[in-house]
């Protein structure tokens, strides 16, 4: 009886051993090591043979192939869900960067344009004194055309801004630019008698000159002897003859010292207008 039992047990063991590779799930479940394997939970099991190890790796790869698919699918879904937000943020960042670059370019171009405009074409100026009253008041601001006198020659009665001559610098010690009215040009003769200007022998009617009867006197305006203006020079006077330090005191102005011609008063707004000049 015992022999028969042992024989049956041996046959069952052989069948089970033979079918080991045909039932991977059962094999994996039955042969999975217990928590105590190599960790204090029980004695270590004997490792399977090389054949069953290869079969185990192949079946394990088959059984676990679904897991990366699920993981990758979840990752794809997460990427697809987060992609619009990320792309939107990226587009906004790129857009703001493009706008910033455009702003910088516009600012630089405007700055360069302003430098070129002020240096070569037109320049704002401020009136600090009453030497040109009533044409200009203290605090008036005007625009000076810096290229017009190269295109159109200077004319009598043009209002010009210029660098002071050496004689003016020697007399006052100042190098600040001045503004006066052109009375005589190169080759003209100038004479002042009792406050009246004679250009090339003809008396000039100067409606722009400040006429203050309380202060008009020959001694204030002074006489200026007849003289011919040298080549390359101009003779200038202030409209407020009694309060102007001009060519009567320090002589002629070299033409190359002229910065430009005053053309427009723009401040204050109530005095906005064109500056009457040459004829």
What is the pLDDT at residue 279? 56
pLDDT at 95: 64
By annotation, the residues acting in catalysis are 131, 180
- The per-residue pLDDT for 278 is 57
Query: Per residue, what are the HEC states of 82-141?
Result: HHHHHHHHHHHHHHHHHHHHHHHHHHHHHHHHHHHHHHHHEEEEECCCCCCCCCCCCCCE
User: Quick one: pLDDT at residue 84?
Assistant: 54
Determine if the peptide bond prior to 266 is cis (ω within 30°). Answer: no
Q: Give CA 213 to chain center in angstroms.
A: 55
Give me the residues of the chain with pLDDT under 70, please.
1-99, 117-119, 212-222, 278-279
> What sign does the dihedral 162-166-168-170 (CA atoms) show?
positive
The pLDDT, as a whole number, for residue 25 is 38
d(CA 208, CA 182): 12
Domains of the chain: 127-274 (2.10.109.10)
The per-residue pLDDT for 88 is 59
HEC assignment per residue over the chain: CHHHHHHHHHHHHHHHHHCCCCCHHHHHHHHCCCCCECCCCECCCCCCCHHHHHHHHHHHHHHHCHHHHHHHHHHHHHHHHHHHHHHHHHHHHHHHHHHHHHHHHHHHHHHHHHHHHHHHHEEEEECCCCCCCCCCCCCCEEEEECCHHHHCCCCCCCEEEECCCHHHHHHHCCCCCEEEEEEECCCCEEEEECCEEEECCEECCCCCCCCCCCCCCHHHHCCEEEEECCCCEEEEECCCHHHCCCHHHHCCEEHHHEEEEEEEEEECHHHCEECCCCC
pLDDT digits (tens, 9 = 90+) for 178-223: 999 999 999 999 999 988 999 999 999 999 998 764 444 433 556 8
User: Is the torsion defined by CA of 95, 97, 99, 102 positive or negative?
Assistant: negative
């Amino acid at each position: 009886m015992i022999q028969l039992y042992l024989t049956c047990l041996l046959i069952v063991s052989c069948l089970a051993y033979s079918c080991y590779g045909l039932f991977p799930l059962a094999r994996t479940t039955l042969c999975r090591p217990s928590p105590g394997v190599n960790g204090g939970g029980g004695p270590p099991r004997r490792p399977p043979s090389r054949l069953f190890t290869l079969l185990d790796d192949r079946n394990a790869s088959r059984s676990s192939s679904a897991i990366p698919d699920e993981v990758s699918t979840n990752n794809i879904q997460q990427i697809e869900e987060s992609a619009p937000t990320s792309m939107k943020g990226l587009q906004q960042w790129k857009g703001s960067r493009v706008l910033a670059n455009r702003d910088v370019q516009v600012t630089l171009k405007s700055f360069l344009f302003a430098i070129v405009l002020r240096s070569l074409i037109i320049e704002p100026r401020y009136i600090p004194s009453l030497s040109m009253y009533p044409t200009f008041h203290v605090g008036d601001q005007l625009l000076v055309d810096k290229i017009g006198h190269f295109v159109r020659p200077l004319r009598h009665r043009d209002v010009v801004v210029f660098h002071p001559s050496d004689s003016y610098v020697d007399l006052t010690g100042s190098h600040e630019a001045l503004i006066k009215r052109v009375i005589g040009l190169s080759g003209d003769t100038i004479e002042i008698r009792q406050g009246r200007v004679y250009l090339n022998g003809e008396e000039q009617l100067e409606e722009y000159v400040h006429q203050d009867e309380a202060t008009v006197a020959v001694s204030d305006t002074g006489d200026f002897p007849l003289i011919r203006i040298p080549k390359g020079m101009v003779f200038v006077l202030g409209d407020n003859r009694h309060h102007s330090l001009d060519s009567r005191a320090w002589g002629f102005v070299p033409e190359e010292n002229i910065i430009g011609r005053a053309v427009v008063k723009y401040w204050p707004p109530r005095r906005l207008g064109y500056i009457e000049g040459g004829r």
